[in-house]
Structure 1
């Protein structure tokens, strides 16, 4: 059971980096199932609660980092919607590089559609990228912490 849980957690860790794959949520569920399966022998209910809280914090901070950063760089709802659409299309076409490029282009076009000048639209697009990188950094940090604690508790 431990090997399967570690494999699922590794997929979740990769998902914290690569869009389209389940990330922190999958890591949390794998620790929960491991805890239930082993009757919380090595991973206590307390740690499961900590992992659950970290998962919620990850979701909230991921959303807020993108939105707040984009707003700080002048993005409007047109840019945010364009960035979201562009990220999905870009990721579908070019995977991770397409995610960044698509988000930038989508936000730029969305801002221009909303009436902003090119310079302001580029600034908003850049803000979207900065916010995404900030959110990804938060997710990777939380994923690393969950994985490290899980491995420490189960492999000793």
Structure 2
């Protein structure tokens, strides 16, 4: 039973990292789920209150970082709120329309289309905003990945 428990926990962690590049998967929820499954399979007593406090703060940080990184990338390159929305929609839809490459093409095209149609910016500015959305997404992946690694390292050290 111990092998099954650890296997499921590790699968949750792996899905959490897959969620970094497939934003439809709530990555941090799977990491947190791995911690909860440890408590169910083994013991919640092994995980002190300060562990849960730190992990919940990281969860809040990750949700905030996810939203802010995309907005920051678009805004830094002169994009509007329409560009942020277009980028977000493209990020969610892109991987389904164009597997693998859609992860980067989706937010790029989404930001460009939204800037051209709703914000009425020039093509040059719209493309600049599209690049900003991709840079924001890539920055988000690195940031969230680092925080998720720290969360798992803390878990391993506590356990």
- TM-score w.r.t. the length of structure 2 is 0.85
Question: Is 1:84 aligned to residue 88 of structure 2?
Answer: yes
Alignment match, 2:128 = 123
The CA deviation string for residues 107-138 of structure 1, in whole angstroms up to 9 with x for no partner, is: 11111112111111111111111111111111
Conservation of the 8 A alpha-carbon contact between 1:19 and 1:96: no
- Structure 1 stretches of 4+ moved >4 Å: none
Residue segments in structure 1 that go unaligned for 5+ positions in a row: none
Match for residue 115 of structure 2 among 111, 116, 121: 111
Alignment match, 1:43 = 47
Question: Structure 1 residues 3 and 45 mapped into 2: Cα distance closer, same or farther (>3 Å)?
Answer: farther
Give the RMSD, CA atoms, in angstroms. 1.8
Match for residue 2 of structure 1 among 1, 6, 11: 6
Conservation of the 8 A alpha-carbon contact between 1:12 and 1:23: yes
In the alignment, the residues of structure 2 paired with residue 95 and residue 58 of structure 1 have an alpha-carbon distance, to the nearest angstrom, of: 25
Conservation of the 8 A alpha-carbon contact between 1:32 and 1:48: no
Question: Structure 1 residues 145 and 3 mapped into 2: Cα distance closer, same or farther (>3 Å)?
Answer: same
Question: Structure 1 residues 48 and 64 mapped into 2: Cα distance closer, same or farther (>3 Å)?
Answer: same
Conservation of the 8 A alpha-carbon contact between 1:87 and 1:99: yes
Residue segments in structure 2 that go unaligned for 5+ positions in a row: none
In the alignment, the residues of structure 2 paired with residue 104 and residue 45 of structure 1 have an alpha-carbon distance, to the nearest angstrom, of: 42
Conservation of the 8 A alpha-carbon contact between 2:21 and 2:103: no
Match for residue 52 of structure 1 among 44, 56, 67: 56
The CA deviation string for residues 4-49 of structure 1, in whole angstroms up to 9 with x for no partner, is: 2222222222223332223112211321342355443332221122
